[in-house]
Amino acid sequence: MNKWLFSMLVILTTFLMGSSFAIGKIGLSYTTPLLLVGIRFSLAGVIMAIAVRLLRIPHPKAFFQWIKIAVIGSFQTAGVMSCIFLSLRTISAGQSSILTFMNPLLVVIFGTIFMKLSYNLRQWTGVILGFIGVFITLGAKLSFEIGSILAFLSAVSWAIGTLLIKKWGNEFNTWVLTAYQMLFGGIILLIGSLILENPYFRITGTSISIVLWLAIMASIVQFAGWFYLLQKGDPGKTSAFLFLAPFFGVLSGWLILDETINWYVTIGGLCIFTGIFLVNWTSSRKMEAGSLETSLNK
């Protein structure tokens, strides 16, 4: 994959991930948390499902392939989002983000244990440094509450979803997988809203605009781009770039919500970028060996 295209997709997807926190926070003034994300992903799933049908993109034929998509949606969308928003009842958004974005570290751990993927000491150091950067960026404040457990479970769910996409993703067209996993996840979230909260939605021009942005840009564009990156690259290396998302979240909070950027954000950002470099850097000797092997195999 072209490195410039990869870089652009990484920046776009992580920016959309991070900025959705600030935009979603505004949206919570008009509706309840689970209903907001339920509408977001159900709408995004319906729009994409219609699109892939009209474009006649091949759909899964086997029943168990649909089960796989539903399982991915249960972890990647419903599990992650429900745990995040339920955690916000007892802990701050910053604390929830710190624990949620442990996902890259868990991807490396789970990938090593369950998928026999291998990562060297430099990559492990990079992942840990990146997580420390997230912790510093968000103020280094963490307390243990029931919300802390839920936020950690969101990271576990995200890591499982990431590895399932890597394992099963090549069986599906990226757009088909994106559409139906969001639709399945959105339906689960709507059911959760009916059970766990007293849902309401105040209809205004602002609330509709927020839902449309979250559904189209922060869901359809973001998920399609992210799934494409996961399918084309190593899940541990690609997931390391998720450390950019909370950094963009802080920046978007400053731009959209006039939140203050403190000195530790700069230090945390440096740790994040250093961690990403360590996880993804390949020595020139290894690159030359890879190029030689490719030439011999032609």
Contact indicator for 99, 148 with CB cutoff of 8 Å: yes
Q: Hey, what are 250's tokens? A: 């802080």
Among 77, 56, 53, 31, residue whose Cα is nearest residue 198: 31
Other C-beta atoms closer than 10 Å to the C-beta of 171 total: 12
Task: Compute mean pLDDT per 10 residues along the chain, 298 residues long, and list them.
Answer: 79 86 83 92 94 92 93 93 79 70 78 78 82 72 70 88 86 88 94 90 94 91 81 70 76 77 73 75 45 35
Which pLDDT belongs to residue 228? 80
Which pLDDT belongs to residue 118? 77
The pair phi, psi for residue 98, each rounded to 5°, is -55, -50
Q: Hey, what are 32's tokens? A: 């309840």
The pair phi, psi for residue 143, each rounded to 5°, is -125, 155
How distant, in Å, are the alpha carbons of 24, 33, 251, 252, 272 from that of 20?
6, 13, 12, 9, 20
3-state DSSP assignment of residue 31: strand
Which pLDDT belongs to residue 298? 35
Which pLDDT belongs to residue 295? 35
CA atoms 115, 118, 121, 126: torsion sign: negative
Which pLDDT belongs to residue 261? 67
Name 252's Cβ contacts closer than 8 Å, sequence gap at least 6: 15, 18, 19, 21, 22, 23
Quote the CA–CA distance of 262 and 140 in Å, as a whole number: 12
Which pLDDT belongs to residue 119? 76
Which pLDDT belongs to residue 134? 73
Amino acid at 214: L
Domains identified in the chain, total number: 1
The pair phi, psi for residue 31, each rounded to 5°, is -160, 175
Residue 158 lies in domain: 3-297
Which pLDDT belongs to residue 241? 77
Amino acid at 128: I
How distant, in Å, are the alpha carbons of 149, 156, 205, 249 from that of 25?
21, 23, 16, 11
DSSP 171: G
Quote the CA–CA distance of 232 and 241 in Å, as a whole number: 14
Which pLDDT belongs to residue 95? 67
Residue pLDDT, tens place only, 178-235: 899 999 999 999 999 999 889 999 999 999 999 999 999 998 888 778 878 877 777 6
Quote the CA–CA distance of 218 and 134 in Å, as a whole number: 21
